[in-house]
Chain A
Amino acid sequence: MTVSSAPPAARNAAYQQLVAQRNAFTLTMTVTFLVLYFLLPVLAGYNKPLMAQKVVGNVTFGYVLAFAEFIMGWVMAYIYVVKARTFDRLAQEARA
């Protein structure tokens, strides 16, 4: 376990790029989803009339927002999967 798995050659451009891109991506996505997610409990706690407002037929804003959160989750997971192809390519270059 003490043997370094990072050869000096690894501190290359591809690796630098991977770290920078990955950190920026993770931070942006995490902050975005936390803000969008907490809209739900915050509105549920502090704006009950809005949550009970009917939007489509008998479907309230609360239900629309909750369903939208599921779609947001899937979309963000998909964005990550696409973006991760770049990360995988950079990681492969960095290891080489």
Chain B
Amino acid sequence: MTFLLAAVIVAVTLAVTFWASRRNTSAGDFYVAGGRISATQNGIAIAGDYMSAASFLGITGLIALNGYDGFMYSVGWFIAYLTVLFIVAEPLRNLGKYTLADMLVYRLKDPRVRTYAAVSTIVISTFYMIAQVVGAGSLISLLSRGAISADLAIPLVGVLMIIYVVVGGMLATTWVQIIKAMLLMFATIVMTVLILNRFGWSFSNMLGVVEAKNGAAFLGAGVKYTNPIDLISLCLALVLGTAGLPHILVRFFTVPTAQDARKSVVWAMVLIGAFYVMTAFMGNAANALLGKGAIEAANKAGNMAAPLLAENLFGGAGTLGGEFGLAFVTAVAFATILAVVAGLTISASTSFTHDIYNGVLKGGQASEKDQFRVARLATVAVGVAAILLGLAAKTQNVAFLVALAFALAASANLPVILFTLFWRRFNATGAMWGIVGGILFTLLLIAISPNIMKIDPDTLTTGRHLIQANAIFPLENPGLISIPAGFLFAYLGTLIGARRHTPEDDRIFEDMQFRAYTGAGVDGTVAAHD
């Protein structure tokens, strides 16, 4: 039944993709669906981009196995959208066309900045993608109970994702996200209602059962995150990193105006918030109804908690209802994996084609037809690279790559975005220093952290650490150090690159600010401004 439902979802998404392909005629259609997505649709798609399999399966499992700490992790993912709403969404829409680089170059007037911003986008998307693809491999083999091995699942996901993006561009990617987000919300809401029904409509009753099974510590903090500094560092990267994630930023170019960008974030916050609140119910219910032992027996990381919970809620193992519940949630998780990978791919290939191919190599003179062709070739290249990297990394411990992508976005992109918008004296050298310094310093800290350096017992064959030695840098997440360092690099670069501040610099800054704040010169469709 699982295969049948998954096949239905794939068939529907492919149909949408071919419908979208008939409306895709230009590079602007490919990159940002011509800027014609509505605020509501975009909000749902942002929520879809964000609610990955890691959230749905991972956080439910995290709460089921670690109690409160897992839920606390959910909060940061949601609150991060306030940073996006207050600071980034609207100016980005007003200043850019297709990519983050557009916005930076609009202010800094230096084509080199475009290359740096594009490299940053591609680096961050790649790390995020490796985590998703490797995760997809193990999740699909887990969800199919071994029927599809990781070696088969990774190319399968890669090929489907290439078809969505190459054939349907951003319009198809957006609709795949919307379909998946609605299915995920539907599944979560139905499960939550069934859970509440099971526990006499009382969260307190459910926590009572959890406490009786696991002890009081499970309802408080500290089961998973034992080092407070590491926890704060992780929270900082989450809250500041979301506003620098390329696949989220690109979504603001798909709507016509800054007002629509604002409304999209609000819609996304309604959905994402509701979803993460419900993870508290799903995770605790999984613990109360299935027990920690059964969840760990299915998968050590807890990734099977949500599907097994659905099986239990719909009637239990061996019943028709139970089988349907398990199959439905599994198929939704599969759709989630596909949609998120497609979203990442399109942001990487847009950045490559618009910024590097057209912006740098062709001096902005490439024809629409050429860009459209190159964008699709770039997508195939990104997809094939994702498959190969995923296969190469499949036995490594890659869960930290998602947190790394957030740390990179917060350390390399956010300082440059903020300085571009608010600091009159900021210059191109500062932007280049900020991006390169932020990326390299974050990667260095990760390389010497316990994510990479750890001594594993000889018996461990999968998920081994790359360097078998004690870590030099103690924190798992580098945000607490790397984010201030990112700001410092951008600041120092600005001082080094400073010429005498001229009236022309003031004029450029004020011009940028006027456009960022009022939307003057932005008329809503992508062909209009440049």
Q: Which residues of A contact B (CB under 8 A)?
A: 1-2, 4-6, 10-11, 15, 18-19, 22-23, 26, 29-30, 33-34, 37-38, 40-46, 48-49, 51-54, 56-60, 62-63, 66-67, 69-70, 73-74, 76-77, 80-81, 84, 87-88, 91-92, 94-95
CA distance A43 to B222 in the complex (A): 11
Whether A69 lies near B225 (C-beta < 8 A) is no
Which residues on the A side are within 8 Å of B276 (C-beta)? Answer: 70
> Min CB distance, A56 to chain B, in Å?
7
> Min CB distance, B478 to chain A, in Å?
16
CA distance A40 to B205 in the complex (A): 24
Whether A58 lies near B519 (C-beta < 8 A) is no
Which residues on the B side are within 8 Å of A80 (C-beta)? Answer: 85-86, 262
Those 7 A-B pairs whose CB atoms lie nearest each other, nearest first: A45-B228, A52-B220, A57-B204, A5-B521, A44-B221, A6-B514, A58-B207
Whether B519 lies near A63 (C-beta < 8 A) is no
Which residues on the A side are within 8 Å of B142 (C-beta)? Answer: none
30 A-B pairs, CB-CB below 8 angstroms? A1-B106, A4-B507, A5-B514, A6-B510, A6-B511, A6-B520, A10-B514, A18-B518, A19-B517, A40-B75, A43-B221, A44-B72, A45-B227, A49-B220, A52-B221, A57-B202, A60-B219, A62-B72, A62-B219, A63-B203, A63-B280, A70-B277, A73-B78, A73-B82, A77-B81, A77-B85, A80-B86, A84-B259, A94-B517, A95-B518
> Min CB distance, A15 to chain B, in Å?
7
CA distance A82 to B234 in the complex (A): 32
Which residues on the A side are within 8 Å of B75 (C-beta)? Answer: 37, 40, 66, 69-70
Among B15-23, B144-152, B266-274, the stretch that binds chain A is B266-274
Q: Which residues of B contact A (CB under 8 A)?
A: 68-69, 71-72, 74-76, 78-79, 81-83, 85-87, 105-106, 109, 202-205, 207-208, 211, 216-217, 219-222, 225, 227-229, 231-232, 234-235, 239, 259, 262, 265-266, 269-270, 273, 276-277, 280, 422, 507, 510-511, 513-515, 517-521, 530
> Min CB distance, B181 to chain A, in Å?
18
Contact of B79 among A43, A46, A69, A87 (CB under 8 A): A69
CA distance A55 to B75 in the complex (A): 19
Whether B220 lies near A74 (C-beta < 8 A) is no
Which residues on the B side are within 8 Å of A11 (C-beta)? Answer: 510
CA distance A15 to B519 in the complex (A): 12
Whether A42 lies near B518 (C-beta < 8 A) is no
Whether B518 lies near A15 (C-beta < 8 A) is yes
Contact of A44 among B225, B262, B270, B510 (CB under 8 A): B225
Which residues on the A side are within 8 Å of B225 (C-beta)? Answer: 44-45
Whether B273 lies near A30 (C-beta < 8 A) is no
> Min CB distance, B93 to chain A, in Å?
13
Which residues on the A side are within 8 Å of B520 (C-beta)? Answer: 5-6, 10, 94-95
> Min CB distance, A13 to chain B, in Å?
14
Contact of B262 among A52, A81, A91, A95 (CB under 8 A): A81
* Closest B residue, CB atoms, query A14: B518
Whether B262 lies near A63 (C-beta < 8 A) is no
* Closest A residue, CB atoms, query B208: A58
Whether B79 lies near A59 (C-beta < 8 A) is no
Whether A91 lies near B519 (C-beta < 8 A) is yes
Which residues on the A side are within 8 Å of B510 (C-beta)? Answer: 6, 11
* Closest B residue, CB atoms, query A57: B204
Question: 7 other contacts beyond A18-B517, A60-B220, with CB at 8 A cut-off?
Answer: A6-B511, A30-B83, A37-B79, A37-B235, A62-B72, A77-B82, A77-B85
Which residues on the B side are within 8 Å of A43 (C-beta)? Answer: 221
Whether A48 lies near B262 (C-beta < 8 A) is no
CA distance A55 to B453 in the complex (A): 42
> Min CB distance, A33 to chain B, in Å?
5
Whether A74 lies near B273 (C-beta < 8 A) is yes
> Min CB distance, B65 to chain A, in Å?
17
CA distance A76 to B219 in the complex (A): 28
Which residues on the A side are within 8 Å of B518 (C-beta)? Answer: 10, 15, 18, 91-92, 94-95
Whether B204 lies near A95 (C-beta < 8 A) is no
> Min CB distance, B283 to chain A, in Å?
12
CA distance A41 to B237 in the complex (A): 13
Which residues on the B side are within 8 Å of A67 (C-beta)? Answer: 277, 280
Which residues on the A side are within 8 Å of B216 (C-beta)? Answer: 52
Task: Take A52-B219, A66-B75 as given contacts and tell me if A33 and B280 are in contact as well, using a CB distance cutoff of 8 Å.
Answer: no
CA distance A60 to B221 in the complex (A): 10
CA distance A69 to B381 in the complex (A): 42
Most buried by B among A23, A44, A76: A44
CA distance A83 to B84 in the complex (A): 16
Which residues on the A side are within 8 Å of B208 (C-beta)? Answer: 57-58
